[in-house]
Structure 1
Amino acid sequence: MKQQEFFSSRWALIIASIGIAVGTGNIWRFSRIVAQNGGGSFLIPWVIFLLIWSVPLLIAEFAIGKSARMGPVGAIAKTAGRKFGWMGAYIVFVSAAIMFYYSVVTGWCIRYFFSAASGNLFSTSEHLAYWNEFTSGYQPLLFHIAAMVLVALVVYRGITKGVEKVTRFLVPSLLFILLLLFIRAVTLPDAFEGIKYFFTPDLNVILDYKVWLNALTQNAWDTGAGWGLILTYAIYMKKSEDISLNAALIGFGNNTISILAGITIFSTVFALSSVDAMQQVSQSGPANTGLTFIYLPLLFSKISESNLVNTIFASLFFLALFFAAFTSLISMV
């Protein structure tokens, strides 16, 4: 049976694939991992693993998907032999398991965007209590359902009318919002201290094997390499497209956005934190949620003396977080 649908252009495929790679891990997890692993010291192995781990895996996924024109199970079975089809099934299982969690996080992002936009987020200074109240009720379930319904509608419309059309809007919008937040963050007083920490390596820390392990883990998490998602999108790429170039553009595009988000968060935290900035980035609250949903709302309330300005920037941040989560979730469904 002849395949009927393809991405309309290389850039449509790349934008959609960057949508896979750029998720909440680039914005909330990346900054926390950098803070826990020596700032600039972490960036060195992180870039190395991009080159020797993530990009090669992306190339492999593109090659297998483009050649087999099947999902992970069928593609692995066709490429490596039927007895290895279980490997594709395992990839699908892992990605589905991540999707169950990721869809919940997407719902959180929707909820906090509306809270920020309405000004309700700044109605209290007790953001830990605000978070606990939200997560202990029924609202997470409702917003989770909302996220899944939205994603289902996109996937139902297919590649060109659904996935491509939505990612063409959301991914550039995400980048534009991050640039706005970046400009505001780096112009805050003492923002340079955060930037300096972010890029200054400590040679003693680089020798710690845990830093390298965390750098590998972060690469695997934030590029989506090896999840079977790129393989699935590759089914719909045209035969004439350059696999290696696509993989390189996606990998470096993803890491560039991570750096942009990292500078934004470190600048904001160092500029506005009244306590130990590193403690807040690396340990605030329950892991990733502490920084994103508990501590950053407090910082956004201090960006300026204007409540309207603070509301706008907080809304933009959570809107960007939602866009990042949603474009990744589309590929998992």
Structure 2
Amino acid sequence: MVQRETWATRSGFILAAVGSAVGLGNVWRFPFVTGEGGGAAFLLVYLLFVALIGFPAILVEFVVGRKTERNPVGALMELGGNAWKYIGGVFIVTGFVILSYYSVVAGWFIRYFLEGFTNSYTGHLAGYEAAAEEAGQPETVMMFLDLSTGLDAFVFHTIFMALTIGIVALGIRRGIELAVKVMVPVIIVLLVGLAIWAGTLAEAGQAYSYYLNPEFGVIVENWTELLPAAAGQAFFTLSLGMGVMVTYASYLGEDRNLGKDGGIIIGFDTAIAFLVGLIVFPIIFTAGADPGQDTVGAIFFSLTEAFAGVPGGRWLGLLFFGTVSIAALSSAISLLEVVTAYVIDEKGVERWKAALGMGGVIYLLGVPVTYDLIFLDLLDGFADAILLVFGALMLMILVGWIAPNFAIEELEKGIGDLGQLGVAWIWLVRIPIIIVLVVSLALGIMEYVDFLSGDFAGWLEDL
């Protein structure tokens, strides 16, 4: 049996968990799903999910991980019995699927970052004028399609996965903890600076109105779209339903206050997601771009056009895309750690072999995404709307209905007697959270089936 590692410091665990949450989920997915959801309407539903669902749910993952000191498969099997190892396997699959396309998207950000060194974004867009005219598409779309697929996308996917594998192979203290202690503070400082600058732009007021003033009629009218989108985004950005928090908590000592740590992690994550909106939407509105473009490339379309049209856009683009690249790496290492921990715990494989082997398989799964973006929609829709929510739902059932006593006892370690608060937490998990997750899962499945029968079926017919 390979000896398990532990965190060297409390700050190491918190920064690793924050780093997992503060990645592409906040910077890539959050702006475009917020735009699709109508701005402030989505933001309000999302914040409610984070507060009412996210915090109780992250405590569930924490107690499961710390109690068992195992990866999701071993943890669920220990608490629920042998059959639950298959549910634990869902978390491993989720990590595989998400990281496979996440790495490709992270490669886009690195590529956009490097593009800023060679020329201004205005100069790059000008190079796509002819292709755009021929295709009947904006220059930003043609540039994105060129940079997001093909040999270059494959190369940057390779580079990003190599960096991720290297950090995880070094271990908890020498790899993950050391890396996040550098990356996360840098990310926060850079984003705060960008938010202050974005507030000086000409259309910042209009952008803030779009982002911060919800129209409740929009929420009522579009709740079937907003509910699964907000649930998926909340779980994606908090790294819930992926097994990350279970795995990270498995390296904790019993003296840690899980409630306090969970509150800090969620507070940082939510603040940074909110901060990203304060950066992105003023830039988009000032450039006259569309904040509600219904596509995974929306953030690239809008921001490339924006950086091409504002003073100092080249350097701001470098700063923004560089920041996101760092954030993406901090999240990717957490996803790979989940599957690596599984192989270490259950198969007794050495860490470097486990990281290299699992990382290699994930890398291969992501290769088709570098060929055609339909595979990104296929994988992201399945992971976000179905796998994440299903994994979280089953974990809530396990803790809320099958093994509630251990959960309260485990949560009280490092906190003290919770009294009725512990009971209230379990009942919140048992009924309202499970109901919301069931509804979100049903709506997510229907939406994904629509995609399979629509866009994906059309793509297959065109082959």
TM-score by length of 1: 0.91
Residue aligning to 2:296 = 288
Work out which of the two has the higher radius of gyration on C-alpha atoms and give 1 or 2: 2
Give how far 1:212 is off: 2.8
Residue 214 of structure 1, CA deviation: 2.1
Whichever residue aligns with residue 296 of structure 2, its letter is N
Which residue does 2:335 correspond to in 1?
332
How does 1:97-112 map onto structure 2 within 5 Å?
A: 97-112=97-112
Q: Secondary structure at the match of 1:237?
A: coil
Aligned counterpart, 1:318: 321
> Is 1:303–2:326 an aligned residue pair?
no
d(CA) in 1 for partners of 2:300, 2:232 = 23
Question: Contact (CA 8 Å) 1:66, 1:239: kept in 2 or not?
Answer: yes
Identify which of 231, 239, 243 aligns with 1:216. Answer: 231
Q: Distance in 2 between matches of 1:127 and 1:39?
A: 22
1:152 and 2:155 matched: no
Give per-residue Cα distances to partners, 1:295-319, cap 9 Å, x unaligned. 2112112221xxxx32211011111
Q: 1:70 to 1:167 in 2, by over 3 A?
A: same
Q: Find out whether 1:128 has 2:138 as its counterpart.
A: no
What does residue 96 of structure 2 align with? Answer: 96
Q: How does 1:161-310 map to 2 (within 5 A)?
A: 161-208=174-221, 209-210=223-224, 211-273=226-288, 277=289, 280-283=290-293, 287-289=295-297, 291-304=298-311, 309-310=312-313
Percent sequence identity over aligned pairs: 29
Structure 1 residue aligned with 2:391: none
How does 1:25-44 map onto structure 2 within 5 Å? 25-44=25-44
Aligned-pair CA distance for 1:2: 9.4
In structure 1, how many angstroms separate the alpha carbons of the residues matched to 2:305 and 2:45? 32
Distance 1:144 1:238 in 2: 36
Q: Tell me the residue number matched to 2:155.
A: 142
Aligned counterpart, 2:396: none
Q: Deviations over 1:178-214 (max 9, x none)?
A: 1121111111112111011111011212223222332
Alpha-carbon distance in 2 for matches of 1:157, 1:132:
35
* Offset at residue 3 of structure 1 (A): 5.2
Question: Relative to structure 1, is the Cα distance of residues 136 and 254 closer, same or farther in structure 2, using a 3 angstrom cutoff?
Answer: closer
* Cα RMSD for the two superposed structures: 1.7
Q: Which ranges in structure 1 are unaligned for 5 or more consecutive residues?
A: none
Rounded to whole Å, the distance in 1 between the matches of 2:111 and 2:47 is: 34
Residues 245-254 or 96-105, more deviating: 245-254
2: CA distance between counterparts of 1:2 and 1:220? 31
Decide whether the 8 Å contact of 2:121 with 2:308 is kept in 1.
Answer: no
Partner of 1:18: 18
* Paired residues, number: 321
Runs of 4+ in 1 over 4 A off after TM superposition: 1-4
Maintained 8 Å contact 1:57/1:226: no
